[in-house]
Amino acid sequence: MSILYIHLPFCNNKCPYCDFFSVPRVSPDIKDRYTDSLILEFEHRKAELGDKLKTMYLGGGSPVLLGSNNLIKLSKHIKDNFKHIEEITIEVNPEQIGDINVFLELMLNLGVNRVSIGVQTTNQSILNLIKRQLDEQKIKETIKLLRHNGIDTSIDMMFGIKDLDADLDYVTECRPEHISFYMFTVAPVYEYFSICPSEHVIDKMFNKIHKKLSASGYIHYEVSNFCLPNKESKHNSAYWEYLSYVGIGAGAHSFLEDKKIRRWNKSDIGAYINDPTTCYETEELDGDKIKREKIMLGLRLLQKGIGEELLDAQMVQQLFDRGYLDRKNGKILINIKAVPIMDEIILKLS
Ligand SMILES: C[S@@+](CC[C@H](N)C(=O)[O-])C[C@H]1O[C@@H](n2cnc3c(N)ncnc32)[C@H](O)[C@@H]1O
Ligand code: SF4
């Protein structure tokens, strides 16, 4: 069982707060060539994926900007190689949904069963500041239409900005199968820094999100992620569980657990198009680093946690006595009240 990430680094405009590798206003010709390069890289590396592909994630950027024909060509090629893929997710910026029936048609054509929509916030003054547009009603209708057609939705929100109550009301009214609440992080540029509250306020906001979404039937299964029962992101769960993944496209990362290798393609569309099979770098991971990363990622899984054998028993007991850790099904979990000091706890445990 393997998982595949495909990076589609195209956006209409670069959002000023976003650090992900993406390029605005790329020509149609480059997108066509990029699609061919993705297919070439996939062919070159598909042996790494084994016999069965469990999940495929089309991320970005704004993947729909690759163009419908290119997306269909790409997904068809992959599905010709792997017949049954359990979960196929695509990210979308609300501004690129367009006509919702046409959007649905494309999703069905691609075989997508999960759409991740970057709502971010409902506060108009913040949307203006971060240069985003949102039609709240349209997103609600899109979720309803997708659900009616067997497609789950995830909503991305950013917190640490204003108006958490309105945002929480909105997401619970939309009731998508999955919600990600990311803490708004920015380089210390004054314009944004002036709207970022203190750490204390952020901790209170985190608690509020946890309480409100838990009371609304969502399971807080990862520090930044909530889902309705059995609606975890299978793709992202594999990252947190430290399983191998293959990433293709400019800027995409891969992790080959058996070889203890991390590899990443250069964040350069031109170089990628020239030769998608050679423009990458690698890092070999030693035992200590692997252990640290396993602890760091595993502790983020608030319901599953990590195996006790990875941790120092004395330190576990100390943190357990202070109420920072819990035990469940033979695993060690971080207690929700300790999440704000998670970095310190990870340091102590690794
Ligand atoms: C790779 S982006 C793709 C989303 C899609 N292109 C869009 O704009 O809606 C995935 C998510 O990362 C989150 N994100 C991006 N920059 C962030 C930042 N500075 N702080 C917190 N979250 C951020 C946003 O919630 C965003 O929806
Ligand atoms: S559209 Fe999405 S990926 Fe592109 S810059 Fe904005 S947040 Fe980042």
What does the pLDDT look like over 220-253, one tens digit per residue? 999 999 999 999 999 999 999 999 999 999 999 9
Q: Where are the domains of the chain?
A: 2-239, 286-350
Whole-angstrom CA distances from 172 to 28, 119, 179, 215 are: 38, 13, 9, 10
pLDDT reported for residue 193: 60
Protein residue closest via CA to atom 2 of ligand 2: 61
Protein residue closest via CA to atom 6 of ligand 2: 15
Protein residue closest via CA to atom 1 of ligand 1: 60
What's the rounded Cα separation, in Å, for the pair 155 and 231?
13
Q: Which of 7, 18, 95, 126 to probe ligand 2 with, by most ligand atoms within 8 A of CB?
A: 18
Map residue 219 onto helix, strand or coil: strand
State if residue 60 touches ligand 2 by the CB under 6 angstroms criterion.
yes
Protein residue closest via CA to atom 15 of ligand 1: 18
Sole residue written with tokens 């760091």: 296
State if residue 11 touches ligand 2 by the CB under 6 angstroms criterion.
yes
Encoded amino acid at 317, one letter: Q
pLDDT reported for residue 194: 62
Q: In the chain, which residues have pLDDT < 70?
A: 163, 187-196
Q: Compute the distance from residue 318 Cα to the ligand 2 centre, in Å.
A: 42
pLDDT reported for residue 198: 75
Q: Which of 129, 155, 158 to probe ligand 1 with, by most ligand atoms within 8 A of CB?
A: 158
Q: Does the domain spanning 2-239 belong to CATH 4.10.1240.10? A: no
Tokens of 305: 């946690």
Tokens of 142: 């899109």
pLDDT reported for residue 68: 98
State if residue 63 touches ligand 2 by the CB under 6 angstroms criterion.
no
State if residue 158 touches ligand 2 by the CB under 6 angstroms criterion.
no
Ligand minimally distant from the alpha carbon of residue 117: 1
What's the rounded Cα separation, in Å, for the pair 90 and 265?
20
State if residue 118 touches ligand 2 by the CB under 6 angstroms criterion.
yes
- Torsion sign (Cα): 268, 158, 147, 14: negative
What's the rounded Cα separation, in Å, for the pair 114 and 156?
13
pLDDT reported for residue 130: 87
What's the rounded Cα separation, in Å, for the pair 101 and 145?
8
Quote the pTM value. 0.96
Q: Which of 11, 12, 15, 18 to probe ligand 1 with, by most ligand atoms within 8 A of CB?
A: 18
